[in-house]
Amino acid sequence: MIGIRDVAVEAWRNISSGTTRAFVALGVFMTLVGGIGLLQVRVLVAVAQQAVRFDNSGASVQVLAATGRINGAQCDALATYPGIAAAGAVRQGPDVRLAALPTTALHTFEATPGLGEVLSVATTAETTAWGVWLAEELAEVLGVDDEPALLPLVAGVSLNTTGVFAYPSDGRLPVLSYTLISPVPALGMFDACWVRVWPENDGAFALLTLPWQAAGFRDASDMPRPQQLNTTLGISFDAERRLAAEPVWPLTFAGIGVGAVLGFAMVRVRRLELAAALHAGMDKASLLAQVGLETCVWVALAWLSLAPALGMAASIGNPDPFWVSWYPGLRTASCAGIAVLLGAGTAVLLTQEQHLFRYFKQR
């Protein structure tokens, strides 16, 4: 067997002279395999964006209504259970008239602090006093942002604003649109418990009967049914089902197939040269090592170029950590690189010295 140094020198000569067509192979690999990896990455980013859109629309919020029978403390306590992101109780408050809108009677609600987490109320870090939260639409009319402000009432007193919450007309129940919410301690009874279940899981949904059991509903047939805050984007977001419907693994296998075919083809077109090397006395193991080194060079360059490119693609517009979407694309590039080496090795093994003259006539 020829020494590894001689094999490496010969491999470098072939690369530098263009015999291996390394740059052609590099371009094809990055175009085809890189395109497949990019498609995988963006498919997963799209699912992550859909999940955020579903959650932001309020579709992950379930409203448990039982007028005057919901214990505020027990409702807020639901947020301590796994799978429940936030929970808060709400009840009707007195109507008010603002000095800026004297002819309009605005609905108000009292809510436990947990509702602020459910609604993602934007508050300032400096806000320590109790005040009211304004629906974003109302806040825009009044020229109020999430900074503390005073809202004079027709009655002569003022309300202190401590936050703003988004509640657009996007299909969600209109109960809190254009309203004021006054956070109060989680004491006494309320009319409804708002529960944000995210990410969705059956165990968390099973806990939604707890507020009603505490309210005295013992018979399952007597219990009110949870009402989804917004059904516009569907009644559930099954991430596993959506991911299973996406061609993530088929694309990986496609990348492997492209790599294997590319590796085989790039070596097979050199069969006359390789058969001549065998005829000149080079053994098959040395030839296999030489072609392996030649192939490893451009495969490594392709992988090192694709890895950051796919990472950047996984970062753009991705609400999740980028590596969640980056990994499948990187996996495809890596598996395709291995397939290239296997394809190239197969082409070398199929090259026979005794077929030299046949290769010569076929060139």
Question: With bands split at pLDDT 50, 70 and 90, how would you rate the model's confidence at 290?
Answer: confident
Of 197, 232, 267, the position where a domain reaches its end is 232
Beta-carbon-side half-sphere exposure of residue 234 (alpha carbons within 13 Å): 11
Residues 222 and 89 both lie in one domain: yes
Residues 217 and 322 both lie in one domain: no
Which of 169-183, 210-224, 227-241 comes out lowest in average pLDDT? 210-224
Residues 95 and 205 both lie in one domain: yes
Residues 27 and 168 both lie in one domain: no
pLDDT for residue 299? 92
Cβ proximity of 85 and 117 under 8 Å? yes
Residues 209 and 330 both lie in one domain: no
Residues 259 and 204 both lie in one domain: no
Helix (H, G, I), strand (E, B) or coil at 268: helix
Residues 99 and 199 both lie in one domain: yes
Residues 205 and 323 both lie in one domain: no
Q: Which domain holds residue 325?
A: 4-53+241-362
Instruction: Kindly provide the b/e burial profile for residues 65-89, where b requires at least 16 CB atoms within 10 angstroms of the residue's own CB.
Output: bbeebbbbebbbbbbeeeebbbbbb
Which of 4-13, 225-234, 266-275 comes out lowest in average pLDDT? 4-13
Residues 49 and 65 both lie in one domain: no
Residues 126 and 251 both lie in one domain: no
Of 165, 199, 232, the position where a domain reaches its end is 232
Residues 22 and 83 both lie in one domain: no
Residues 64 and 42 both lie in one domain: no
Residues 260-286 have pLDDT tens digits of 999 999 888 777 776 766 666 677 787
Question: With bands split at pLDDT 50, 70 and 90, how would you rate the model's confidence at 348?
Answer: confident
Q: What is the DSSP string of 147-170?
A: S-EEEEBTTS-EEEEEEEE---SS
pLDDT for residue 161? 85
Of 203, 232, 261, the position where a domain reaches its end is 232
CA–CA gap between residue 64 and residue 264 (Å, rounded): 63
Residues 6+ apart with CB under 8 A from 251: 36, 37, 39, 40, 43, 332
Strands 180-183 and 96-98: unpaired
Number of domains in the chain: 2
- Residue 101 tokens read as 């809108």
Q: What's the pTM?
A: 0.79
Residues 74-83 have pLDDT tens digits of 889 888 888 8
Helix, strand, coil percentages (3-state) for the chain, rounded to 5, are 55, 20, 30
